[in-house]
Amino acid sequence: MIEDNEINGQPLCPEGNKKMELMTQEQIRAQLAVSKQQGSLVEVHDFDEAGETFDVGFVLAVDELFVLLLGIDWDGKINGLTAVRLASIHRVRSQTDYLTTVSLKCKVAQENGYFDLWHLQDFLHDHDYQGKNILRTLLTDSYQNDLPLVIGTKKYKGGDDFTGVISDLGTIKLTLHYFNSHDLSSLWEYEILLAQIDYVRVRGTQTATARKVLDQVFHQE
C-alpha cells in the first residue's frame, strides 16, 4: 500500500498531493490497450478512489469484463496472475515514479535469478488468454487442477478477500472452501456469485502459501 509520496515531509513532485482524477471506462480500456502494446508496467487502481492501494503488473489480456495482469510485487518479482473487473477500476496509470522504481527492481530480480519464482513465463508460453473469457478461464483452471486462489468480492471491496479452493463451479456461482488465517480451526464454505467477483489472484505467492496451509493444516493434498 502506498501511503503518500513524501520523504521527510517534502513531496517528491508537485503533483504528489493533488487528487487524482477518475477515468471513464473508455479511457481505462484505451490505457490498458496502450500498455499491453508497449509491454509497459501499469498501476490499476481498483480498491479506493483515493488511489492509496492498487495492483501493479503487465497487461496480458482484456475481455468485455476483466483485465488480466501479470502481477509484480514491491520487490520486483512476478507475483502471480491477477484478473480485475473493469467496472471496479477507478484509473490506470503508467510512467509514474513508483513504476520506474518497480521496473528497476524487476531488472535487479532478473539479474539475480528471483524474478520468476513461480515459472509463470513458461506457463504463459503455453497458455494464451487472448479472445477468452478471462474470469471463466482462471476459475476453470483452478477448479480442474485443484489450485488455491484468492477471490475479492464487491461486497467487501478490498476490505477482505477469500483464499481457498473451489469445491463446485457453476455458470452462475461457485462454492469456495476457504480458511481464515486468524482461525485455522476449520475450513469454511462460501457461495459466491460470479457477477459479484471483483478480482481473482492465481498461481502466485498467496496461492502457494495457501497450498501449504491446506496441505499441512487441513490435509487437503
The pLDDT of residue 183: 93
Domain boundary among 102, 125, 148: 125
Residue range of the domain that includes 71: 6-125
The pLDDT of residue 1: 34
The pLDDT of residue 51: 66
Residues 15 and 101 in one domain: yes
Q: What is the pLDDT of residues 65-114, one digit of tens each?
A: 999 999 999 999 999 999 999 999 999 999 999 999 999 999 999 999 99
Q: What is the mean pLDDT of residues 203-213?
A: 95
Please report whether residue 1 resides in a domain.
no
Above 70 in pLDDT, residue 187? yes
Q: Which residues contact 144 (CB under 8 A, 6 or more apart)?
A: none
Where residue 167 falls among pLDDT bands split at 50, 70, 90?
very high
Please report whether residue 221 resides in a domain.
no
| 65 φ/ψ angles, rounded to the nearest 5 degrees | -120, -25
- Looking at the structure of the chain, the number of domains it has is 2
Count Cβ atoms below 10 Å from residue 219 Cβ, excluding itself.
7
Rounded-to-integer distance, Cα 67 and Cα 190, Å: 25
DSSP state of 54: -
Residues 13 and 78 in one domain: yes
Q: What is the mean pLDDT of residues 189-206?
A: 96
b/e per residue, 16-33, with b = 16+ CB within 10 A?
eeeeeeebeeeebbebbe
Residues 27 and 77 in one domain: yes
Q: Which residues contact 70 (CB under 8 A, 6 or more apart)?
A: 57, 58, 60, 78, 81, 120, 124
Domain boundary among 64, 92, 125: 125
Residues 17 and 112 in one domain: yes
Residues 13 and 91 in one domain: yes
The pLDDT of residue 160: 79
Query: Closest Cα partner for 87 from 154, 134, 150, 37?
Result: 154
Residues 150 and 74 in one domain: no
Cell of 184: 485455522
Q: What is the mean pLDDT of residues 154-167?
A: 86
The pLDDT of residue 121: 96
Residues 20 and 118 in one domain: yes
Please report whether residue 60 resides in a domain.
yes
Provide the CB-side half-sphere exposure for 201 (13 A, CA). 24
CA dihedral 184, 187, 190, 195 (to 10 degrees): 80
